[in-house]
Amino acid sequence: MNRMIPLLPAALAALSGCAIFSRTEPVVLRRYATHTVVQDSASAVRITVFALPVPAAPSTATVLTSLSPEAQAEMVKAMAARTGGDARALVQALALPIREASSTPSFQDRTRISRRLVFSLDHSSSSAADRISDARIIVRPVNGSQFVSWNRIENPRETVDVGKLSLSRERNTGAELGLALPFLSATPSLSASAATTLQEEMVLRRQRTPLTGTLTATEAVLLQQGDIETDLSGNITADFDMVVPHGGYYTVFTASLPDACGGAPSFNRQTTRYAAAGLNAPSDTGRGAGGPAPVGVNVELQYTLRHVPAGDRTLPEGDDAAEFRKGRDTIRLVEILPGEALRFAVFQLRIAGDSIEIEGAAPSARADRRNVLEFGTFEEAVDMLAWIRRCTVAKLGYPLWAGNRAMTDGDRAAMHVWRAPVNYKGDEGELPLRR
């Protein structure tokens, strides 16, 4: 019996040590309890894509307060002189935005386009704890088009506190030893107990998922990686600038028309670079029969789905038996701009089957040179025709020719607008003058 008494401290220390050194492992701070990586044979994650025009940037109007103090004073003086001292008219004039001088550019590029692509990710997994943990979207243009730049990539996630979770776990280890000692009147009971407590706190957040990417002329890669508790299901938008194969250059007239017939129009020239016709288009005419090909892209999604077959009953992911399923999804030929939108036609003034030519109006040309009187838009051609009909041919300031015959005022009623396709076949003919 006396031999057992020295063993008491050692036994109690051993029991206490087991409790102290059996530390509780954190759950909240772990990403998973166990994990495996497999191929997703079910293709549980899908991607869809559609295209939209890029919204135009809002224009900022220039008003009186936008000017410097000195310019404001001069503006008030000028408006006071034009309103004849009428205070109400002066106030109304000063409240109007200041119009900027408008001018038609001498060059326009119809081979460069801007489109917004919207990528939607979704998964069909039945477990509530499953989520898309990372996604790589690869976009490749087709039909000869290429990327030039991008200026916006966005997803809808923001950092918002939605709650706070506190977990407390305690582990106790105890031992009780009863000894009957002959020299004591009672049997004592000695016990040793030790405990470790792990207090964990986690702030639940919806994290802002950063987007990164790379861009070359033939490929764009968008990569987003979700943080803990973040499912990447949802939409991603990206604005792309692209170019399509060009088929050549075409130069037309632009005209600044006076309001009254007392002055003569001033002419300038505008050159347009237009899209090429399709590669397999017939070539029986010299005006690019067949039309431009649609602008499209091929899209590939490479993803990782975090599947949780066990441990999905709790919000923290640290006790999950995670299975990372890697897979891919592809979409071929997503049309982001139809070929019809790239068609280019000019609008001529004609009489019967003859194109009307104007002599000497082209800048930097000889005085006796004739050029077909054609414009880049239907509206410009109609405005020119209406001005000639309202005024006279002589007021134009430049001779007009129909074939080899000089035009007179008697020919004005027979003039009409004719659409002449440049990079496609069809739609050629006289247009009704509906305004």
Residue 432 has a pLDDT of 76
Taking residues 324-339, report their average pLDDT.
93
Alpha-carbon distance of 57 to 51, in angstroms, equals 18
Residue 36 has a pLDDT of 87
Q: Using a cut of 0.75, tell me whether the model's pTM lies above it.
A: no
Taking residues 306-329, report their average pLDDT.
83
Look at 322 and 348; give whichever has higher pLDDT.
348
Q: Is the pLDDT assigned to residue 167 strictly greater than 50?
A: no
- Closest by CA to 411, choosing from 350, 347, 368, is 350
pLDDT in tens, 284-314: 444 445 789 999 999 999 999 988 888 777 7
Residue 212 has a pLDDT of 81
Contact assessment for residue 195 and residue 173, using Cβ atoms and an 8 Å cutoff? yes
Alpha-carbon distance of 35 to 58, in angstroms, equals 50
Residue 55 has a pLDDT of 85
Contact assessment for residue 292 and residue 343, using Cβ atoms and an 8 Å cutoff? yes
Look at 108 and 161; give whichever has higher pLDDT.
108
- The size of the chain, in residues, is 435
Residue 349 has a pLDDT of 94
Taking residues 398-407, report their average pLDDT.
89
Look at 110 and 432; give whichever has higher pLDDT.
110
- Read off the pLDDT band of 379 (50, 70, 90): very high
> Of the given ranges (28-42, 59-73, 160-174, 263-277), which has the lowest mean pLDDT?
160-174
> What are the angstrom distances between the C-alpha of 96 and each of 65, 103, 253, 329?
11, 21, 33, 55
Amino acid at 434: R
| 266 CB-side CA count, 13 A | 4
Pair of tokens at residue 85: 């001292």
Taking residues 356-385, report their average pLDDT.
82
Contact assessment for residue 384 and residue 398, using Cβ atoms and an 8 Å cutoff? no
Taking residues 309-337, report their average pLDDT.
86
Residue 435 has a pLDDT of 42
Buried b (16+ CB within 10 A) or exposed e, 237-266: ebbbebbbbbbeebebbbbebeeeeeeebe
- Read off the pLDDT band of 47 (50, 70, 90): very high
Residue 313 has a pLDDT of 78
Fold of the 34-53+110-156+207-243+293-337 domain? Immunoglobulin-like (2.60.40)
Phi–psi pair at 205, nearest 5 degrees: -135, 150
Q: Mean pLDDT for the chain? A: 77
Phi–psi pair at 140, nearest 5 degrees: -125, 120
- Closest by CA to 422, choosing from 334, 344, 305, 338, is 344
Alpha-carbon distance of 282 to 38, in angstroms, equals 50
Residue 102 has a pLDDT of 55
Look at 105 and 60; give whichever has higher pLDDT.
105
Most confident of 42-46, 167-171, 427-431: 42-46
- Read off the pLDDT band of 86 (50, 70, 90): confident
Most confident of 186-200, 235-249, 273-287, 352-366: 235-249
Domain positions in the chain are: 1-29+158-176+191-203, 34-53+110-156+207-243+293-337, 64-97, 246-288+344-431
Look at 61 and 47; give whichever has higher pLDDT.
47
Taking residues 69-86, report their average pLDDT.
76
Alpha-carbon distance of 339 to 51, in angstroms, equals 14
Q: Is the pLDDT assigned to residue 337 strictly greater than 50?
A: yes
Q: Is the pLDDT assigned to residue 206 strictly greater than 50?
A: no
